[in-house]
A and B are shown apart, each in its own frame.
Chain A
Amino acid sequence: MRSTQVVSIRKYVVYFLFILLSGLLTAVDYFSNKTLSNFIPERVNLISNFQIPDRLLQNEFSSLTSSRADLVAENIRLKEELSNLRVLYVKNQELQDNIDSYELLIKNISDFELTYYATSLILKNSTDEYIISGGRDYNFEPGDLVINETGYIVGYLGEVFNDYSILESFNSTNFNFRALDENNNIFEVNSNGKELIFSSLESTFISKVGMLYSDITFGHINKFPFYDLQSYEQTKLNNKFTVIVPIEEMLTYQSNLFIPKSK
């Protein structure tokens, strides 16, 4: 009986050793300020490597049938042309969508001194953070603001890798943001996943909070609208405001996202 128990525990020894190794890696990564976890992503372009090469989208097998009758060759050439046209059509559609989203953005922003890089959603990780395209290849940096086509902030970059970045959006566990209102009162914004909690950091004598903006004093690139709190219930205690706003909009593959950078 005892020997059976020993045998049953022994089968987990290797697993326990690897769990310990993982714990050790976590400790080393913690003390090395994430040098270890950034080691692989800094050397590999993951997203670009996963793109399907155009070669595969086209019919590349026509060379194998070059010795066949002209009719067959012509048929293959036409098929090839058709597949090329399909690729072009997809590219054209993507560009058209890009133009539309840029046009919408231009209507909503006032600062044209900045370059607005279009980015798109790739996937959502296990902790509800969004992985978006573009990274160090576009000189993105952690903390860079991410805005939508209406010019409103939807989050900021948490981590930046070679060709992709992790977006800290409103429903992300690490979301922490500072913004200013029209009267220069500082607000700290945190998320509990379903709601955004706005808290003023200093005493204020205003009666109601309005629109909040990003500001260069917090390291942001420019002043962008963040949230209009006018229509939400506001609690004032000791001249400090707390506003709780439910998160309604989730990012989707159709969301148009931009990262403003200085030229």
Chain B
Amino acid sequence: MKVIRLISISIFLFILCLFENYVNTFISLDFGVYIFLISLLYIGTELFNQNLVIPIFLTGILYDSFFSTYYLGLYTSIFLVVVVLSNFAVSRYSKSTVIYTTTISLCLLIYKLPIILEFDLDYWLTGYLTSIIVNSLIFFFLKRTLRNSV
């Protein structure tokens, strides 16, 4: 039962990851809608659990294998670091909007690290700043909706 649960969560996360790439293929504006990153942030801030490490790890391995030209394990580490960092920031400091926004900014920076390291500041800065606003809004909306429904 536990194995089936882990596999189901892994598949769900991988589909979210694919969906994120699919959505961003359509968006030709200078920002991204990072649904998978928002899910990782939600896991880190609201649902942090040691049992989720395997699904996140498996999702990263699948993403690295199928859709990334980088070495296996790079995006896996990024996904795990995002979850740890977001949980650390929220549990160490207060659960305020400022902390959440700062966490999203930092996590997005880590999430886009391969592009940031390769390209100049003027390539990614505008998109990065816009993405912080867009993704923060989505995150707060999701958080509020899920809290209300619970």
Contacts and interface: CB of A to CB of B under 8 A. Distances in A.
Interface of A: 8, 11-12, 14-16, 18-19, 21-26, 28-30, 34, 36-41, 46, 121, 123-129, 131, 158-159, 161, 166, 173-174, 192-194, 250, 252-253
B21 interface: yes
Interface residues of B, number: 48
Given A29-B71, A173-B115, A192 B120 contact: yes
Q: What secondary structure prevails in chain B residues at the interface with A? A: helix
B115 to A, nearest CB: 6
A39 B64 CA distance: 11
- Among B60, B67, B70, B87, the one with the most A-chain Cβ atoms within 10 Å of its Cβ is B67
Contacts of A14: 50, 53
Contacts of A161: 66
6 contacts: A14-B50, A123-B22, A125-B21, A126-B114, A193-B115, A194-B122
Nearest to B32: A126
Given A127-B114, A128-B115, A250-B28, A19 B65 contact: no
Contacts, number: 124
A129 B69 contact: yes
A41 B61 CA distance: 11
B88 interface: yes
A75 B39 CA distance: 45
B60 A22 contact: yes
Interface in B106-138: 111-112, 114-115, 118-120, 122-124
B76 A173 contact: no
**Closest 3 pairs between A and B when the two form their complex, measured CB to CB:** A25-B73, A37-B72, A26-B73
- Main SS at interface, chain A: mixed
Contacts of B80: 15, 18-19, 22
A159 B69 contact: yes
B68 to A, nearest CB: 6
B140 interface: no
Contacts of A192: 119-120, 123
A90 to B, nearest CB: 19
Q: Which of B25, B76, B91 has the most CB of A within 10 A?
A: B25
A43 to B, nearest CB: 10
A11 B57 CA distance: 16
A25 B72 contact: yes
A126 B68 contact: yes
Nearest to B127: A193
